[in-house]
Amino acid sequence: MLEIKNLHASIKGKAILKGLDLVVPAGEVHAIMGPNGSGKSTLSKVLAGDEAYEVTEGQALYKGKDLLTMSPDERAREGVFLAFQYPVEIPGVTNAYFLRTALNAVRRHRGEPELDAFTFLQRVKEAMKLLEMDAEFRNRFVNVGFSGGEKKRNEILQLTLLNPSLAILDEMDSGLDVDALRIASRGVNALRDADHAFLVITHYQRLLDYIVPDHVHILVDGRIVQSGDRSLALDVERAGYVDHQASA
């Protein structure tokens, strides 16, 4: 699904990713952990196409295609989704209008018919029910005045509706209370199958109790310095990144 080779990226001339290698096959969930500022969000934004970042070297293939030459909206239509660590507020645009426009853009690209207003509403209602979101969030402006946890839930709502092949979740657990974490994870797990892949960025082992990863990677100073199974996450929780910092 995703193959990253020797990826280097910088922002405003400052190198953040410094030769990152990562392979995420279809059907798998990979977790990325790492200290603050190590480049986790940078990796996720570079993969999603944030034009603020400059890729200076390396490659990222998505389903065998060169991901880095596609525009951000093209990537999304091709099935790449980033759940933002800090979702953006968009005053004046209702959540429902936003979701429908996004969904229809993706559907058109897949050669599926656009959803009419009624069918769309049914879908949203279903998804919101699964995520235990109040119906009023449909008519509110995108993320405006949402609490931290509500914004995160709204990200998972988009994930559920758009049904991407590759989902990158950047700290979806931050700001979520215990119940919300369980509910949001349920939304993610519902999509797990042989055709989907997930890149889950987190600081805490707890999320990985809900979304159980196949592999765990440690990102330090712009590179993957260690990979392993889920027990690696437990090691990090216990001992921190001290050893990894040294090896980086």
Ligand X SMILES: Nc1ncnc2c1ncn2[C@@H]1O[C@H](COP(=O)(O)OP(=O)(O)OP(=O)(O)O)[C@@H](O)[C@H]1O
- Residues engaged in binding Mg ion (CB under 5 A): 40-41, 85
Q: How far is the CB of 108 from ligand X (least distance, A)?
A: 32
Amino acid at 112: E
Q: Where are the alpha helices (DSSP H) in the chain?
A: 40-48, 72-78, 95-109, 117-130, 148-162, 178-191, 205-210, 231-239, 242-247
Nearer to ligand X, 68 or 219 (CB): 219
Binding site for other proteins (CB under 8 A): 48-52, 71-73, 76-77, 81-82, 84, 87-88, 90-93, 97-98, 101-102, 105-106, 109, 141, 158, 162
**Who's near 168: CB < 8 A, 6+ residues apart?**
44, 47, 48, 80, 81, 82, 83, 198, 199, 201
Which helix (H) or strand (E) segment holds residue 8: the answer is: strand 2-11
Site for ligand X in 17-36 (CB under 6 A): 34, 36
Q: State the number of CA atoms in the 13 A half-sphere of 1 facing the CB.
A: 23
Stretch that binds ligand X, among 6-14, 90-98, 103-111, 113-121 (CB under 6 A): 6-14
The CA distance from 11 to 62, in Å, is: 23
Amino acid at 12: K
Picked from Mg ion, ligand X, other proteins, none, the partner binding residue 49 (CB below 5 to 8 A depending on kind) is other proteins
Nearer to other proteins, 39 or 79 (CB): 79
Indicate whether 205 belongs to the interface with ligand X (CB under 6 A).
no
Picked from ligand X, Mg ion, other proteins, none, the partner binding residue 36 (CB below 5 to 8 A depending on kind) is ligand X
**Who's near 35: CB < 8 A, 6+ residues apart?**
220, 241, 245
SS3 91: strand
Site for ligand X in 45-104 (CB under 6 A): 85
Nearer to Mg ion, 41 or 185 (CB): 41
Give the one residue of 25, 37, 148, 228 binding ligand X; rule: CB under 6 A.
37
By the criterion CB under 6 A, which residues form the site for ligand X? 11-12, 14, 16, 34, 36-42, 85
